[in-house]
Chain A
Amino acid sequence: MDNLNLDQHISRQFNDDLEEIRTSMLEMGGLVERQVADAIRALEDADSTLADKVMEVESRIDSMEMDIDDTCTTLIARRQPAASDLRMVLAVSKTLRDLERIGDEANKIAKMAILLSEQGSAPRGYTEVRHIGNCVRKMLNDALDAFSRFDAESAIATMKEDRQVDMDYKSALREMITYMMEDPRSISRSMNILWTLRSLERIGDHAKNICEHIVYLVQGRDIRHRDPD
Chain B
Amino acid sequence: MDIAEKMNVFQDAVQVDPRVVAQEHMMTGENLYIPEKTVGAPFVDDPKMRMRDVNVFYGADQAIHGVSLDIGKNEVVALIGPSGCGKSTFLRCMNRMNDTIDICRVEGSLHLENQDIYDPKLDVVELRARVGMVFQKPNPFPKSIYDNVAYGPRIHGLANRKTDLDEIVENSLRKAGLWDEVKDRLDSAGTGLSGGQQQRLCIARTIAVSPEVVLMDEPCSALDPIATAKIEELIRELSESYTIAIVTHSMQQAARVSQRTAYFHLGWLVEMNDTDTVFTKPQHELTESYITGRFG
Tell me whether A82 is interfacial, beta carbon within 8 Å.
yes
Contact A84 B292 (CB under 8 A): yes
Q: Top 9 nearest A-B pairs by Cβ distance?
A: A220-B281, A82-B291, A82-B279, A85-B292, A8-B27, A8-B294, A83-B288, A9-B293, A83-B292
Considering the complex, give the chain A residue whose CB is closest to the CB of B26.
A8
B295 within 8 A of A: yes
Contacts of A86 in B (CB 8 A): 279-280
Interface residues on chain B, size class: 20 to 34
A82 engages B251 (CB within 8 Å): yes
Q: Is the CB of A9 within 8 A of B280?
A: no
Q: Does A178 contact B (CB under 8 A)?
A: no
Q: Mark A73-103, 1 if CB is under 8 A from B, else 0.
A: 0000000111111110000000000000000
User: Is the C-beta of A10 less than 8 angstroms from some C-beta in chain B?
Assistant: yes
Residues of A within 8 A of B26 (CB): 8, 10
B interface residue numbers (CB < 8 A to A)? 25-28, 251-252, 255, 279-282, 287-289, 291-296
User: Which A residues have a C-beta under 8 Å from some C-beta of B?
Assistant: 5, 7-11, 14, 80-87, 220
Interchain Cβ contacts within 8 Å, total number? 46
Closest residue on chain A to residue B294 by CB atoms: A8
Residues of B within 8 A of A80 (CB): 252
Q: Chain A residues near B25 (CB, 8 Å)?
A: 5, 8
Using A5-B27, A10-B295, A86-B280 as known contacts, list a sample of 8 further A-B pairs with CB atoms less than 8 Å apart, ordered by residue number in A.
A8-B27, A10-B296, A14-B293, A82-B292, A83-B279, A83-B281, A86-B279, A87-B280
For B287, the chain A residues whose CB sits under 8 A away are: 83
**Chain A residues, Cβ within 8 Å of B281:** 83, 87, 220
Alpha-carbon distance between A80 and B293 when the two chains are bound, in angstroms: 11
A86 to B28 alpha-carbon distance, docked (Å): 22
Residues of A within 8 A of B288 (CB): 83-84
**Known contacts being A80-B252, A82-B291, A83-B292, is A7 close to B280, with CB within 8 Å?**
no
Contact A5 B294 (CB under 8 A): yes
Which of B252, B294, B295 has the most chain A CB within a 10 Å cutoff?
B294
From residue B296, how far is it (CB to closest CB) to chain A in Å? 7
Residues of B within 8 A of A85 (CB): 292
Partner of A83, one of B28, B252, B280: B280
A81 touches B292 (CB 8 A): yes
Task: Report the bound CA distance from A83 to B292 in whole Å.
Answer: 7
Alpha-carbon distance A220/B255, docked complex (angstroms): 18
Which residues of B have CB within 8 Å of A83? Answer: 279-282, 287-288, 291-292
- Nearest-Cβ distance from residue A50 to partner chain B, whole angstroms: 44
Given contacts A8-B26, A87-B281, A220-B280, A82 and B255 within 8 Å (CB-CB): yes
CB-based nearest A residue for B285: A5
A5–B25 alpha-carbon span in the complex (Å):
10
Q: Are A9 and B252 in contact (CB under 8 A)?
A: no
Q: How far is the CA of A122 from the CA of B95 in the complex (A)?
A: 83
